Structure 1
Amino acid sequence: MNDQSKRPLTADDLKTINVLSDPQFAPDGNTFAFVSTAATDDNDYTSQLFMQSLDEAQPKQWTFRDAKNGHPRFSPDGKSIVFQSDRSGTQQIWLLHTNGGEARQLTTFKHGTSNPEWVSDGNSVIFSAPLEAQDDVTSQHELSDEEHRKEKEEKSKQPLVVSRLKYKSDANGFHDEKRTQLVKYSLEEETFEQLTSADTHHHLEDITPDGKYLLYSANLSDDEDYELTNDLYLLNLSTKEKTKLTDGNGQYVSARFSPDGGKIACFGHQFAYQGATLNDLYIIDTVSGEQTCLSSNWDFQLGDAMIGDTRMGQSETGPIWSEDGKHLFFIGTDTGSTSLYQVDLTGELRVLHEDNSHVFGFALNGSNFILGISTPIDPGNFHQLDQDGKLTQLTDANKKFLDEVALSEPEALTFQADDGWEIQGWLLRPYGFDASKKYPFILEVHGGPHAMYGQTFFHELQLLAAKGYVVLYTNPRGSHGYGQEFVDACRADYGGKDYTDLMTAVDYVIKKYDFIDHDRLGVTGGSYGGFMTNWIVGHTNRFKAAVTQRCISNWLSFYGVSDIGYFFTKWELGKNLLEDPKALWDFSPLKYAENVETPLLIVHGEKDYRCPIEQGEQMFVALKHLRKEVEFVRFPDANHELSRSGKPDMRMERLNHITRWFDEYL
């Protein structure tokens, strides 16, 4: 329910929400740093660093410049932090003393730097940098605004020559010859040393406690352009000798050394169910290379698979070692929520914190945790979890927003699908709810499809409830949170039982709640949810309005135009274009355009390389050609992340178009 003494949520409230991320303990264990991100008045975002003592009620702001500051990491002695910031124009590494003073710029790399981590001696920092093969790390200089302008102008005059399969990605656009390399900086000598140089991207995972070895992940295979594998490598920082730890058949991430450096813990899998494969937790012996799986008897996703539209910035999800090396801690995704787990080296599992909420990140010092927690009625705060299991809220990042705005508490639902499978969902009642009235209804379908709706703050869902709609969101088969068989169950069956799960959900709530107006039903979703919205309106006319967002309409063209199409089509539908074009056409909502009678709004970003705008365009042209009720809204400079991290004005404009369409037809 919601408090009618408060005002309803608006699209503009996106600009008032502070998003917290990346908690980091200081070595003393009594202080932690974090990042707070918010929209600015000039249609962008700013991220600032804060510090808070566990015995203080309010955090202290550390950075103030109108910039994106992030990834704070304390030095081993706690006297300074390194962080990344774009305050100079390009993202670089900076140093800030914890007792005050101005930040000092450490790097001036042409293409920027990121993700700094301290070596244990406190005299060196290792970071990531995009470099071309001929770049010299000892003579890098940051481009001026004028140099940036000239370089961009020159680039616009040249054709793009493509010779790789992986030549674009949604977040980064068209790729060039730069590869992410690892670089070491000595604070004492003020010198740089390039540690990797292979023609592939390298990701820093960890550094041994004694500072002698580096752990990184990369795909060094000759077939890297055709593979999605990711291996772990040890690098001896003295001899530069490289040791491959994994077998080239899987994907390994979030790797961490044990306190004695003798073992590595990581998440990973070997694509048993392609993109629907649950993560496992592995222990790797750094000497023998022996690999042990601790999670072989578990049946839930390791890490955070929760979907939301106000999470910005990375946060730790594990695995993280205990100080004595006997336990590991991580976040797990299960039945609509995420929780903090502990496991020992025999695989004995224990839940340390679960509260039907979204634990989105954590930090650990001894037996003391900082947990980042969001709920449907709180965008997120940090809490202390002590060794006795006591939870204490530390921040109140959105007090003003929450004091003013009414939010709807979801009602959890469980119903049976046609074949008896249990499906979980949630229902939001509209602002000012009156049980004696009839309300229009909107079904929301999440993307992925291998992701999860759940107990987290979701601005779009709350906005629709604030506008007077009953909102239903569910996790049909294919979603995370319900085990391996469930998350795999939609593959090669898009538009099959996943579709009937959703229709059964609508039938269930219509029967259960007499305040839903059966004649005013709407549906919307993005990405896979956009595919499903298109599919729904081509297979039933029960909905009176629909909004398809960053959608898929034609799997035949998706194979060749999406940054993931060449493998995703095979993974999810069982066939690619060259194997069985008829099967892909049968899976394509475009095939059923003649059946559509539901007024459809198509919302798409011009620079979406995940589900390219031609997918929305094909749907629009077909329906318009058939004289159907359809409208197409194209967002300039927006990619697949428009709803989550797009420019604030564009995000609000998108929401206004969605509510406009439903208001008109429902």
Structure 2
Amino acid sequence: MNNNEHLTKRRGMTAEDLLRLRSVRDPHYAPDGTRVVFVEKSIDEENQYRSHLYMWTKDGAVRPWTFGPWRDTKPRFSPNGETIAFLSDRSGRTQLWLLPTDGGEARQLTFFKNGVRDYVWSPDGTFLIALTTLGDDETIEDREEPEKAEVKRADLKPRVVERLYYKSDAAGFLDGKRAVLARIDALSGKIEALTGREEEIGSFAISPNGRTLAFVANRNEDPDTTFTRDIILLDLEKKTEMNLTNGCGTFASLGWSPDGMKLAAIGHDLAYLGATIHRLYVFELERQTKRVLTADWDAHLGDAMVGDTHADAKSPGPIWASDGSGLYVTASERGRVNVYFVSLDGPIAPVVEGDFHLYGFTVHPNGRQAVAAISSPTSIGDLYAVSLADGTKTRLTRANEALENEVVFADAKPFTYQSTDGWEIQGWIMKPPELGEGEKAPLVVEIHGGPHAMYGFTFFHEWQLLASRGYAVLFTNPRGSHGYGQSFVNAVRGDYGGMDYEDIMAGVNAALNRFDFIDKERLGVTGGSYGGFMTNWIVGHTDRFKAAVTQRSISNWLSFSGVSDIGYFFTKWEIGCDVWEDAERLWHHSPLKYVQNIRTPLLILHSERDYRCPIEQAEQLFIALKRLGRETKLVRFPDANHDLSRTGSPALRLERLRHIVGWFDHYLKGPFG
């Protein structure tokens, strides 16, 4: 059978295939290295997200470990390997549960009123530290209550706001809740609050001797306007604290060295505010010294990849080698997320490298091998055993095998081109897999959000859907993107709609010149968040595109600065001023200023509970276009936030995809195309 015959036996990707995607993630080795527990996230028959624990054993078997209509996440073996702790919403709120590895029922360990956000085991396995939240009148002993199905009108009360930061796109209205770390006895469930002040708490880790808890917190007098995050050391016996960093930067992803003498963290000094690349720090506690191990490596540590399949998979933090000689870290470079080994006293070397997106990682106790979760444009994502000596990989799971055998995928071909000022930009082109010889395909340009994020070598259902519908897909990383060094990611600040616009349009020109299967007369453009801003900007500055879809966008920086959960600082960070300092500058960078120039049919998609880019941004643009008599439509998604396309209701995600495809089909392939 030749390759073309093989392709004809497969069909194209559909919107409904979204419901069949399985995301394999968060692998974690057992202490003896014979087993790996991991999570498989899926969508059930009722279009609800579910996630269950699975176990891989050294004989190659993969077995489901939990069942039911729940979301079970973050499994971690106890130090003796006899118990798995995990988070689950099976009681209503997300709580901490314990499951024997030799069989038996899971046991609920915490009953916190507001649930558990994260946890860690103690080194001896006798207790765990969990992160929860408490309201003003709540205590650590208050127990979880059933969710109220409906709030009666008589019970409604006004929400009194005094803080600048009072809402979050992810969490909604914060209502004065403070983060609290608590110690929980693994046998009795007895709890003890370890912190209590009003503060945000991030990463936390217990020292190997079990005596010191390191955690990240904002200890500034005005935490809403000061963005450093300090590392606090808490003596668990004496209950005394020491601030290790004293406002020198913002830190996350803590990890103790095996001997307990050093503490690693991912962080930066805010030199370029939100565009500062992340680096690896190591603190030597006895000497009270700080080293930046990646100071000379112009790479962003962590996972900056944008996608719609593994977007909520948590990137692994720095992992110490068993001998303490260095650390394994993930880094985002040129559209790839790979693993590198950073030696304490030597070079930085790749250990798991390739054109793929590595979004999960765990190291075997022997230090010679690892298990990684890996995705690529034509592989949805699976676990692989990896040799840390030579990087060879062996596939362990086949979570999406049935779908991958049924559907033909479009590959993403990378290429580079020069922008109008000579800067090198990276892009990718996806050719419709069933496009015949000599046929032309309409082109859809995709623009990522952030803007400090990255497109690259990962599986993207939306793009496969467009390719299956006969569209070529172009995606690029214009300046402002991660993956190309500090100067590149910082270059967009203060220049939104400037050279970033030139980078994207130069990419369109380069694609038209290089790939003869693109129909230059049928061009479409879409993007979300910053990508929505840029979509709005593009159609206000050129008529080259026959159709556009703007999603969760920014149209007016003047209002955005006061309504977004991050607008009060992000606007100045990215555009360069506050509204009272230079309103004209904000208006200059607002796509709404150029609305009279928009002739391209524009579909506007927006979530009604989006606090990042509130829906008034879409409403202003829609009303202006309607008053001007332009071709437009506004689609509002109820009870959805900024992450609709990635983690929103599956039913609404399907509706979103259908609207996007329908709009492009009508204007690029229908009577207007």
Please name the residue that 1:242 is paired with.
241
Following superposition, the deviation at residue 512 of structure 1 comes to: 1.8
Contact persistence 2:179–2:198 (CA under 8 A) = no
Contact persistence 1:75–1:81 (CA under 8 A) = yes
Question: Partner amino acid for 1:446?
Answer: H
- When the two chains are superposed, the root-mean-square deviation of aligned CA atoms in Å is 1.4
Following the alignment from structure 2 to structure 1, what is the Cα–Cα distance between the partners of residues 397 and 312? 17
Please name the residue that 1:548 is paired with.
550
Choose from 100, 108, 111 the match for 1:108: 111
Q: Deviations over 1:240-282 (max 9, x none)?
A: 1101011214210101111111101111111111111011111
Contact persistence 1:439–1:516 (CA under 8 A) = yes
Q: Deviations over 1:92-127 (max 9, x none)?
A: 111100000110111111111232211112111111
Following superposition, the deviation at residue 518 of structure 1 comes to: 1.4
Following superposition, the deviation at residue 156 of structure 1 comes to: 6.2
Contact persistence 1:265–1:283 (CA under 8 A) = yes
Following the alignment from structure 1 to structure 2, what is the Cα–Cα distance between the partners of residues 173 and 153? 20
The alignment of Structure 1 onto Structure 2 pairs a total of residues equal to 661
Contact persistence 2:203–2:254 (CA under 8 A) = no
Query: 1:288-299 residue pairs with structure 2 within 5 A?
Result: 288-299=287-298
Q: Deviations over 1:200-240 (max 9, x none)?
A: 12234210111111011101221112222211011000001
Following superposition, the deviation at residue 347 of structure 1 comes to: 4.9
Following the alignment from structure 1 to structure 2, what is the Cα–Cα distance between the partners of residues 342 and 23? 19
Following superposition, the deviation at residue 7 of structure 1 comes to: 0.7
Please name the residue that 2:219 is paired with.
220
Choose from 409, 412, 415 the match for 2:411: 409
Choose from 462, 483, 497 the match for 1:495: 497
* 1:226 counterpart SS class: coil
Q: Deviations over 1:391-412 (max 9, x none)?
A: 1111111001101111101111
Question: Partner amino acid for 1:412?
Answer: P
Question: Partner amino acid for 2:417?
Answer: F
- Is 2:70 the counterpart of 1:67? yes
- Is 2:360 the counterpart of 1:361? yes
Following the alignment from structure 2 to structure 1, what is the Cα–Cα distance between the partners of residues 574 and 591? 15
Following superposition, the deviation at residue 134 of structure 1 comes to: 4.2
Please name the residue that 2:268 is paired with.
269
Please name the residue that 1:53 is paired with.
57
Contact persistence 2:351–2:388 (CA under 8 A) = no
Following superposition, the deviation at residue 155 of structure 1 comes to: 9.4
Please name the residue that 1:418 is paired with.
420
Contact persistence 1:21–1:312 (CA under 8 A) = no
Q: 1:53 to 1:313 in 2, by over 3 A?
A: farther
Following the alignment from structure 1 to structure 2, what is the Cα–Cα distance between the partners of residues 15 and 115? 28
* 2:288 counterpart SS class: coil
Following superposition, the deviation at residue 135 of structure 1 comes to: 3.0
Please name the residue that 2:671 is paired with.
none
* 1:203 counterpart SS class: strand
Following the alignment from structure 2 to structure 1, what is the Cα–Cα distance between the partners of residues 155 and 617? 26
Following the alignment from structure 2 to structure 1, what is the Cα–Cα distance between the partners of residues 663 and 565? 30
Please name the residue that 1:339 is paired with.
338
Following the alignment from structure 1 to structure 2, what is the Cα–Cα distance between the partners of residues 658 and 78? 48
Question: Partner amino acid for 2:64?
Answer: Q
Contact persistence 2:480–2:491 (CA under 8 A) = yes
* 2:45 counterpart SS class: coil
Please name the residue that 1:614 is paired with.
616
Following the alignment from structure 2 to structure 1, what is the Cα–Cα distance between the partners of residues 580 and 45? 49
Query: 1:316-355 residue pairs with structure 2 within 5 A?
Result: 316-355=315-354
Please name the residue that 1:81 is paired with.
84
Please name the residue that 1:484 is paired with.
486
Q: Deviations over 1:75-94 (max 9, x none)?
A: 11100111111111111111
Q: 1:299 to 1:103 in 2, by over 3 A?
A: same
Question: Partner amino acid for 1:340?
Answer: V
Length-normalised TM-score, structure 2: 0.96
Please name the residue that 1:374 is paired with.
375
- Is 2:10 the counterpart of 1:6? yes
* 2:8 counterpart SS class: coil
Please name the residue that 1:450 is paired with.
452
Question: Partner amino acid for 1:305?
Answer: A
The range that moved more, 244-253 or 606-615, is 244-253
Length-normalised TM-score, structure 1: 0.97
Following superposition, the deviation at residue 144 of structure 1 comes to: 2.8
Choose from 135, 138, 141 the match for 2:138: 135
Question: Partner amino acid for 1:160?
Answer: R
Contact persistence 1:316–1:363 (CA under 8 A) = no
Choose from 93, 98, 105 the match for 1:95: 98
Following the alignment from structure 1 to structure 2, what is the Cα–Cα distance between the partners of residues 369 and 233? 31
- Is 2:229 the counterpart of 1:230? yes
Q: 1:561 to 1:156 in 2, by over 3 A?
A: farther
Following the alignment from structure 1 to structure 2, what is the Cα–Cα distance between the partners of residues 188 and 438? 66
- Is 2:23 the counterpart of 1:15? no
Following superposition, the deviation at residue 42 of structure 1 comes to: 2.1
Following superposition, the deviation at residue 574 of structure 1 comes to: 1.1
Contact persistence 2:94–2:117 (CA under 8 A) = yes
Following the alignment from structure 2 to structure 1, what is the Cα–Cα distance between the partners of residues 9 and 423? 41
Following the alignment from structure 2 to structure 1, what is the Cα–Cα distance between the partners of residues 136 and 564? 28
Question: Partner amino acid for 1:13?
Answer: D
Please name the residue that 1:435 is paired with.
437
Q: 1:78 to 1:313 in 2, by over 3 A?
A: farther
Q: Deviations over 1:398-440 (max 9, x none)?
A: 0011011111011111111111111111101113111311211
Following superposition, the deviation at residue 190 of structure 1 comes to: 3.1
Please name the residue that 1:383 is paired with.
384
List alignment gaps of at least 5 residues for structure 1.
none
Q: Deviations over 1:472-491 (max 9, x none)?
A: 00011111111111111111
The range that moved more, 342-351 or 637-646, is 342-351
Following the alignment from structure 1 to structure 2, what is the Cα–Cα distance between the partners of residues 359 and 97? 30
Choose from 469, 472, 477 the match for 1:475: 477
Following the alignment from structure 1 to structure 2, what is the Cα–Cα distance between the partners of residues 25 and 619? 51
Question: Partner amino acid for 1:435?
Answer: E
The range that moved more, 448-457 or 435-444, is 435-444
